[in-house]
Amino acid sequence: MNISHLTILAIESSCDDTGVAVLKGNKVLSNLVANQEIHARYGGVVPELASRAHLSNITPTVELAISDAGISPEEIDAVAYTIGPGLSGSLLVGASFAKAWAWARRIPTVPVHHMRAHVLAHFISPGPPPEFPFLCLTVSGGHTQMIHVHSPSNMEVIGATLDDAAGEAFDKVAKLIGLPYPGGPLIDKYAALGNPESFLFSKSKVEGLNMSFSGLKTQVLRFLQAQLSQEPDFIDNNLHDFCASVQSAIVGMLITKLELAVKTTGIKQVAIAGGVSANSGLRKALTEKGSLSEDPWKVFIPPMSYCTDNAAMVGIVGIFDAADKKFGSLADTPQPRMPDLNS
């Protein structure tokens, strides 16, 4: 399939960041994210504020992305946008903008499943990309899924969290110790200077490839209550060790499930994707799996800029689908609770 001639404008607005990218084939010409700082003070994303911020960000971010790409709008062949899952108001802004922009220029749209975009981010240049089939553990703030990726359009979810997502676990624990949202990157930062063996948190025992993270939050809450009753400054005195221990517990659970997925499927090409794939503990643990002396995995870790939500990953899906002439229509509406990839 020759994709190098296609130029795509891509929009990602499923949550609180307005992402816009321009891709030519699998090469990213520009990739911008307008972050919404406003949510930090509320301890989580406020949907109404997110959609308002998307509204004010989207036009200037699209203009800037096109000028950064060094192309004129006439060179764009199609507009890809996230249709779901995500926050309904946020998705509505991106979808409406994308459809209107494309309609005005008589070019097609490509509606994109957000989780498929996280997986296919591995195909953005320079790569090298995984070969099919491969396993992808997609770990974000809203999802945690073990995916058997058969092809760009055939992905099978073979395991998923039964409750909280891994990113949610990081964020909830961070909130318990008073860190602002999103707390995942801060736990990662403090963990770097801590001892992961300082405090032991037990792994949840879910059968098979499914996962569970809500128990960890409760365990940490009880642990903190007990410690704080004896030592009111426990958090300040143990911040690094505490963060390292929590991170190690979450990463341990993810790696255990990856090991089981490799064993069950016999596939040794292993990728991670989504916001939590930016976590240095997870990246390190996976890298170690790739350098095992006996039976190493072939591991694929996305560059930092393609881990958390971004439009380049939406653009690569746009390129794949446009090459197959799989386009959407003006009648497509956002799907906040979109079905799983394999349904």
Interface residues with Zn ion (CB under 5 A) are 140, 309
Tokens of 237: 């005195």
The DSSP string of 60-105 is HHHHHHHHHHT--GGG--EEEEEEESS-HHHHHHHHHHHHHHHHHH
Alpha-carbon dihedral 268, 274, 276, 279, rounded to 10 degrees: 70
Whole-number minimum distance, CB 207 to ligand KG4, in Å?
Answer: 25
Site for ligand KG4 in 157-176 (CB under 6 A): 167, 170-171
DSSP H/E element including 287: helix 280-290
The smaller minimum CB distance to Zn ion, of residues 54 and 289, is found at 54
**Which listed residue (26, 30, 279, 335) binds ligand KG4 by CB under 6 A?**
279
Tokens of 150: 């058969």
- First-to-last alpha carbon distance for the chain, in angstroms, is 26
Residues 6+ apart with CB under 8 A from 139: 165, 166, 167, 254, 272, 273, 274, 275, 276, 277, 282
Q: If binding is defined by CB under 6 A, does position 276 make contact with ligand KG4?
A: yes
Contact region for ligand KG4 (CB under 6 A) — 87-95, 100-108, 140-148, 208-216? Answer: 140-148
Q: If binding is defined by CB under 6 A, does position 334 make contact with ligand KG4?
A: no
Q: If binding is defined by CB under 6 A, does position 274 make contact with ligand KG4?
A: yes
Return the sign of the alpha-carbon dihedral for residues 290, 295, 297, 298: positive
Rounded Cα–Cα distance for residues 323 and 317 (Å): 10
**Which listed residue (73, 142, 180, 215) binds ligand KG4 by CB under 6 A?**
142
Whole-number minimum distance, CB 275 to ligand KG4, in Å?
Answer: 2
How big is the site for ligand KG4, counted in residues (CB under 6 A)?
A: 19
Task: Determine the 3-state secondary structure of 131 from DSSP.
Answer: coil
Q: If binding is defined by CB under 6 A, does position 278 make contact with ligand KG4?
A: yes
Binding site partner of 73, from ligand KG4, Zn ion, none, Cβ cut-off 5-8 A by kind:
none
Q: If binding is defined by CB under 6 A, does position 19 make contact with ligand KG4?
A: no
Binding site partner of 26, from ligand KG4, Zn ion, none, Cβ cut-off 5-8 A by kind:
none
The smaller minimum CB distance to ligand KG4, of residues 309 and 321, is found at 309
The smaller minimum CB distance to Zn ion, of residues 61 and 140, is found at 140
Residue number of the CB atom closest to Zn ion? 140
Q: What angle do CA 312, 114, 215 make, to 5 degrees?
A: 120
Task: Determine the 3-state secondary structure of 30 from DSSP.
Answer: strand
Whole-number minimum distance, CB 115 to Zn ion, in Å?
Answer: 7
Site for ligand KG4 in 178-207 (CB under 6 A): 182-185, 188
Tell me the CB-side half-sphere exposure of residue 10, using CA atoms within 13 A: 40
Instruction: Write out the residues near ligand KG4 by the rule CB under 6 A.
Output: 15, 140-142, 167, 170-171, 182-185, 188, 274-276, 278-279, 308-309
